[in-house]
């Protein structure tokens, strides 16, 4: 598959097809995955060794039907 170059300020993320939609701002995390796919949190930066792009610790939980953080043994 050939990917087109993204315009400045845009980012493409690949998330699970069954992931829930992004919740409204201020709502609790629902596992949509978008935050952790866009850039790692401070802990994720240590694991991922980068400050942009998807976190290497993000996992898809089929039973829960959501993305989960793998940095805490979940």
**Contact by Cβ (8 Å): 48, 55:** yes
**Vertex 48: Cα angle to 39 and 34 (nearest 5):** 30
Under rule CB under 6 A, residue 37 binds ligand SF4: no
Stretch that binds ligand SF4, among 2-10, 16-24, 35-43 (CB under 6 A): 35-43
Do 41 and 53 meet the contact criterion of CB atoms below 8 Å apart? no
Looking at the Cβ atoms of 7 and 42, the one nearer to ligand SF4 is: 42
> Which residue ranges make up the site for ligand SF4 (CB under 6 A)?
36, 40-41, 43-44, 55, 57-58, 69, 71
């Amino acid at each position: 598959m050939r990917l087109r170059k993204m315009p400045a300020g845009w980012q493409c993320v690949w998330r699970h097809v069954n992931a829930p939609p992004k919740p409204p701002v201020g709502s609790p995390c629902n596992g949509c995955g978008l935050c952790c796919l866009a850039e790692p949190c401070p802990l994720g930066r240590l694991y991922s060794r980068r400050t942009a792009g998807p976190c290497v610790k993000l996992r898809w939980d089929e039973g829960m039907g959501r993305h989960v953080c793998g940095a805490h043994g979940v």
